[in-house]
Amino acid sequence: MNRKENILIVDDEKIVRESLFHWFEEEGYEVETAEDGETALRKYEKTKFDLLLVDMKMPGMSGLELLSTIKSIDKDSVIILITAFASVPTAITALKNGAYDYVTKPVDPDELAHLVKKALEQRALKIENKQLKEKIDEIIRPDNLIGDSPQMKKIYELVQTVAPTDTTVMIRGESGTGKELVAKAIHINSNRKYFPIIPVNCGALAETILESELFGHEKGAFTGAQFRRKGKFEMADGGTIFLDEIGSISIKMQIELLRIIETKQFNRVGGNELIKSDFRVIIATNEPLEELVKAGKFREDLYYRLNVFTIVIPPLRERRTDIPELVNFFLKKFSTAMNKPIRHVSQEAMEFLVNYDWPGNVRELENAIERAVVVGKQDTIKVTDLPFHISSNHFESENGSKSLSSMEKKYILKILNENNWNISKSAQILEIDRVTLYNKINKYSLSKINN
């Protein structure tokens, strides 16, 4: 049941107080009266009235003085002044001091009732908007950004800190940890949330294609350019551009990137028109950029320009307490999408999922649950439904080591051999990009003769 809106009538004339009291009480409001400003102020300090009707001229504290005092207590208070001697200067003073409106004596009850109703409706709308804004101001997460581990809580805190600014953000973490989800969380909690976030996978494109992708091109700029095309930086105007795998771009592109980030200006490929774009930059990398800088493969000035605010996403194996929540989220997602009555995960399967090291991180876990839902025949996922139903001994290296690196080496080699060293297919199965797979092959000195 909605509470009645309450009104305080302040007037030194008893007949005015009583007539307005009965009128608004019959209209369905809670009504109180006060014969002077001091009494009204005492009552207002006890009860924050929704609206006040205040006589302008009273002995002691005047209506304008009461208006100013109450506004200093509550700037959102709604006050309508009543005056017997209306004048332009008086009206201007009242409105400047925060009065909603004023009426003149003798008061027309119908006109005043309409004005009160309008004022209270606007007040209710203002309160509702304020409440909605407070809810919006709380951190909003993309659906897949899940976890309440200390590591994830720290990430949410960093997102909340940096989101309202236009600071460039560098997100670091292994492949599949959810770097793009964190970028989206920063964007949708920023002042740019009503404009797009434009993702670009820099590692998936050749240099010539990447240049056109980022800056756009004019018609006829190169063979096959049959029309003018906007680039990602132009599309990100007002919003955010997310550059993934930033460590894979060439030195030439690094120079171009540094220039556009600093000036927010660029030319389309094959064009002379200077394009301006207001964008925020978020980048992601799973490579140690500091080592690339030392090796001369990444410009130091660009590195310092990008490394302003860093968020490091831990691999899934370092936040195992989040795995059950992620498993249940993906289970609900895929069982609903496939219309299958699978609602549970067996204790044995959950223990297996929690103890597995997840070299492909959250992306690999998501794919594992999707596969389990596809092949599952009952209402509960079992270990046999998972795509890697193997004993922990399977991951032991030749010398019996169970270290993370030795298990990762063994697993990557197994996938490569199973796919006849098809790099693209193996990277897809491992849920990592080809650049990362090549890096792993070099790191572990893998080759076909290793099998």
| Same-domain status, 39 and 108 | yes
The CB density around residue 398, as the number of other CB atoms within 10 Å, is 7
Number of structural domains (the chain) is 3
Q: Can you list the alpha helix ranges (DSSP code H) found in 49-108? A: 63-73, 88-96
Kindly report the backbone phi and psi dihedral angles of residue 356, in degrees, each rounded to the nearest multiple of 5, phi listed first.
-70, 150
| Same-domain status, 51 and 169 | no
Q: Which amino acid is at 281?
A: V
Write the pLDDT tens digit of every residue in 299-348: 999 999 999 999 999 999 999 999 999 999 999 999 999 999 999 999 98
141 in a structural domain: no
318 sits in which H/E element? none
Write the pLDDT tens digit of every residue in 242-266: 999 999 999 999 999 999 999 999 9
What residues pair up with 33 in beta bridges, in sequence order?
Answer: 9
| Same-domain status, 52 and 156 | no
- The residue among 136, 166, 183 that closes a domain is 136
271 in a structural domain: yes
**Residue position matching structure tokens 């200077």:** 274
| Same-domain status, 310 and 198 | yes
- The residue among 262, 280, 314 that closes a domain is 314
Give the pLDDT of residue 138.
55
143 in a structural domain: no
Give the pLDDT of residue 36.
92
Give the pLDDT of residue 283.
96
CB 248 within 8 A of CB 203: yes
Write the pLDDT tens digit of every residue in 404-420: 567 778 788 888 888 88
What three-state secondary structure class fits 265? strand
| Same-domain status, 276 and 400 | no
| Same-domain status, 118 and 91 | yes
1 in a structural domain: no
- The residue among 136, 168, 187 that closes a domain is 136
CB 290 within 8 A of CB 236: no
| Same-domain status, 97 and 182 | no
pTM above 0.75, yes or no: no
Residue numbers of the chain with a pLDDT score lower than 50: 1, 137, 389-398, 450-451
108 in a structural domain: yes
What residues pair up with 53 in beta bridges, in sequence order?
Answer: 9, 80
142 in a structural domain: no
Integer Cα distance of 179 and 170 in angstroms: 10
* Among candidate residues 312, 250, 233, 241, the one with its CA nearest the CA of residue 283: 241
The CB density around residue 451, as the number of other CB atoms within 10 Å, is 10
Q: What is the span of the domain harbouring residue 433?
A: 317-450
Give the pLDDT of residue 192.
94
| Same-domain status, 326 and 352 | yes
13 in a structural domain: yes
Give 376's DSSP letter.
-
Q: Are strands 280-285 and 309-312 parallel, antiparallel or unpaired?
A: unpaired
| Same-domain status, 327 and 285 | no
| Same-domain status, 113 and 155 | no
| Same-domain status, 405 and 361 | yes
* Among candidate residues 186, 199, 207, the one with its CA nearest the CA of residue 232: 199
Give the pLDDT of residue 139.
61
Integer Cα distance of 297 and 319 in angstroms: 32
Residues 6+ apart with CB under 8 A from 292: 247, 298
